[in-house]
Amino acid sequence: MTYNTKVFNYSNLAEEDKQIVVAQLLMLDSIENVITEYTFSNEAADNQLERISYQEGIKALIEAKQSMYDDIIEWMVFAIEGYEHEIEEVDTDDFFYGLYPESENK
């Protein structure tokens, strides 16, 4: 699905919802760490069977990471759609606009 990032972005979330998104992103980061670990293990593998196992694991983790990312976006949309107050549009194409304020001032 395509969502309007000007409305559906991190900066428009309520504070308690922002905390939930940060926790979800930490889980996403954990998956990325395992992908990195598997990549190094794959490169150091001694035999073909081991390499295939790591490669398949990496593929599955990449799919899980993308699925989790999509779920986070959909959860943000669901949360924002449930707000009763008016949501201000922000000129951005980033769903996570406002998560890292220091980079947006550059």
Q: What is the pLDDT of residues 26-76, one digit of tens each?
A: 999 999 999 999 999 999 999 999 999 999 999 999 999 999 999 999 999
Residue 103 in this model has a pLDDT that exceeds 70: no
CA–CA separation, 47 and 27 (whole Å)? 31
CB under 8 Å to 48, separation ≥6 — which residues? none
CB neighbour list of residue 97: distance below 8 Å, 6 or more residues apart: 5, 9, 10, 11, 90, 104
CB 5 within 8 A of CB 97: yes
Q: What is the pTM of this model?
A: 0.84
Q: Is the pLDDT score of 1 beyond 70?
A: no
